């Protein structure tokens, strides 16, 4: 054999050894995934020991100069690796991208060489489309990021070093080259998506603007250009930015979701019993909510909450409140005489609480002004409570009394106060200004007051006279949930300081 032929034989042996390492690494990963996450036995059996023994024999044969024998052994071992690869890829169909992510996040930090071999496994098998593109995307991001405990966020590794690693990994693939102007255009598109994600301030924007879905579609649709080192480098930066944004927004959203969904779950049976007969869709929505809540709790326990799970849970909670409003006649306040209830009159009923009195007076002044009522987002029964409390309307039923009217009005005033303080603190924070200590002190008082009112709502909801009245029960539930939303919003901002 010529020197070139001997060199080619050595190259084939090195590639085959690398294929074996990648297949063996995937087998180890699959064993753990099936056992710990799929709770199933491995669906295959491969004699890796035999393939390994052949490799050792081939190495000895090449070193002793028996090139013909080495060539024949390489051909036989290639066939064995091809068969093993097909078997492993069939098993990989059962391992979804979320399982891959959960596997590695449970490990916290692992040797990057293991991930390199897994990426090469997919490359050697030419399995780089569909769900496998998502898995490869996660694996590249895993070796392209680090976590900064001081900053509490992820950051992309040094681009020059990481780019060299990408080039080494991608060399296994046979992908077509790309025109420089096309590469530049795609990198700009990726960075534009990254900048959009960084600007997100509300969890809902991830869904409303389809940012996650659009990024995933982009990665799938650019085909082999995904593996261009510079494009892939930009994609990893996008993924790291997305992870940081998700974590930041989810941490701010998590406690509110837990509190609100727990409250709703606590009263789900009572809501269904009192309103289900006239609104079957409400029963269905509560069932969807319970299913979403269970899924959320399960994934939260595993530290594996996904964006779509959060979105679904929030959606079902919103839908239940919407369904509660259906099938009930709109509370008509009637013709409201235009009148201004001054502070003195309001104080007669509510005392001179200096922090709450201005908001109570503001609410009272809105009575008779549809624009102000809409601006303050007052419920019809809250407006009606003012009328009855000040003798401008008669009670609708024996159980409709002053104590109940006072609860509605106080809850509405505290809700307005919570929203105002949350907006003021958030605006100052966005401008880089530390909120005034007095403002934070008032916010703390508002949160304490909201807690007391929430307990009072709970007491009313357990009283038989209200528990059996669907109309008042609906009002109590809705006013309470709206108060809880205001409390959660301010608490998250206040807690940051």
| Residues 348, 402 contacting (CB under 8 angstroms) | no
Instruction: DSSP for 160-196, please give it.
Output: HHHHHHHHHHHTTS------HHHHHHHHHHHHHHHHH
DSSP, collapsed to helix, strand or coil, labels residue 353 as coil
Instruction: Please give the pLDDT value at position 307.
Output: 61
pLDDT at 372: 76
Taking the complete model, does pTM exceed 0.85, yes or no? no
Residue of 123, 127, 112, 121 whose CA lies nearest to 165? 112
CB-CB contact of 371 with 441 (8 Å): no
Q: What is the pLDDT of residues 400-433, one digit of tens each?
A: 677 888 888 889 989 988 888 888 887 777 667 7
Q: Which of 151-155, 203-207, 444-448 has the lowest mean pLDDT?
A: 203-207
Question: Domain boundaries in the chain?
Answer: 1-95, 330-497
| Distance of alpha carbon 494 from alpha carbon 47, whole angstroms | 60
Distance CA(272)–CA(366), nearest Å, equals: 34
Predicted confidence at residue 50, as pLDDT, reads 94
Distance, C-alpha 209 to centroid of its chain: 14
How far apart, in whole angstroms, are the C-alpha atoms of residue 439 and residue 460? Answer: 31
**Residue reference for tokens 């890829």:** 89
How would residue 434 be classed by pLDDT, with cut points 50, 70 and 90?
Answer: confident
If DSSP codes are grouped into helix, strand and coil, which group holds residue 51? helix
> Residue 441: CA atoms inside 13 Å, Cβ hemisphere, count?
4
Closest to 4 in 3D by CA, of 66, 51, 67:
67
Determine the Cα–Cα distance for residues 331 and 376; give it in Å rounded to an integer: 17
pLDDT band at 253 (very low <50, low <70, confident <90, very high): low
Return phi, psi of residue 148, to 5°. Answer: -100, 110
Q: How confident is the model at residue 28 (pLDDT cuts 50, 70, 90)?
A: very high
């Amino acid at each position: 054999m010529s020197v070139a032929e001997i060199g080619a034989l050595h190259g084939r042996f090195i590639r085959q050894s690398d294929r074996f390492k990648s297949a063996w690494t995937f087998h180890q990963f699959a064993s753990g995934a099936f056992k710990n996450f799929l709770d199933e036995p491995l669906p295959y059996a491969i004699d890796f020991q035999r393939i390994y023994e052949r490799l050792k024999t081939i190495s000895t044969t090449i070193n002793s100069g028996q090139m013909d024998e080495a060539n024949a052994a390489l051909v036989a071992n290639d066939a064995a690796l091809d068969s093993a690869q097909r078997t492993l890829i069939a098993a990989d169909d059962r391992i979804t991208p979320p399982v891959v992510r959960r596997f590695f996040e449970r490990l916290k930090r692992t040797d990057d060489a293991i991930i390199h071999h897994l990426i090469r496994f997919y490359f050697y098998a030419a399995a780089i489309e569909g769900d496998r593109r998502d898995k490869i995307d996660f694996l590249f991001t895993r070796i392209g990021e680090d976590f900064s405990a001081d900053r509490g966020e992820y950051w992309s590794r040094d681009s020059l070093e990481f780019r060299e690693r990408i080039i080494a990994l991608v060399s296994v693939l046979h992908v077509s080259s790309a025109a420089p102007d096309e590469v530049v255009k795609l990198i700009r598109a990726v960075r534009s998506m990254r900048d959009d994600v960084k600007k997100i301030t509300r969890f809902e924007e991830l869904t409303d603007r389809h940012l996650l879905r659009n990024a995933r579609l982009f990665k799938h649709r650019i085909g082999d250009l995904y593996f261009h080192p510079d494009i892939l480098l930009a994609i990893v930066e996008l993924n790291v930015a997305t992870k940081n944004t998700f974590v930041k927004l989810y941490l701010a959203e998590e406690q509110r979701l837990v509190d609100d969904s727990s409250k709703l779950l606590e009263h789900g049976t009572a809501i269904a019993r009192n309103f289900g007969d006239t609104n079957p869709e409400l029963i269905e929505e509560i069932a969807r909510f319970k299913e979403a809540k269970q899924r959320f709790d399960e994934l939260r326990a595993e530290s594996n909450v996904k964006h779509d799970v959060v979105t679904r849970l929030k959606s079902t909670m919103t839908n239940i409140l919407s369904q509660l409003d259906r099938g009930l006649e709109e509370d008509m306040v009637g013709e409201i005489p235009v009148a201004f209830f001054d502070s003195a009159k309001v104080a007669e009923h509510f005392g001179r609480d200096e922090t709450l009195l201005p908001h109570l007076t503001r609410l009272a002044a809105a009575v008779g002004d549809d624009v102000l009522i809409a601006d303050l987002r007052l419920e019809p029964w809250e407006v009606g409570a003012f009328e009855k409390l000040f003798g401008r309307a008669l009670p609708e039923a024996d159980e409709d009394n002053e104590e109940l009217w006072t609860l509605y009005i106080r809850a509405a005033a505290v809700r307005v106060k919570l929203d105002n303080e949350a907006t003021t603190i958030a605006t100052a924070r966005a401008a880089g200004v530390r909120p005034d200590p007095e403002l934070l002190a008032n916010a703390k008082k508002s949160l304490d007051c909201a807690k007391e009112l929430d307990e009072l709502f709970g007491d009313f909801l357990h009283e038989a006279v209200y528990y059996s009245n669907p109309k008042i029960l609906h009002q109590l539930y809705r006013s309470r949930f709206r108060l809880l939303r205001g409390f959660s919003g301010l608490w998250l901002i206040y807690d940051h300081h």
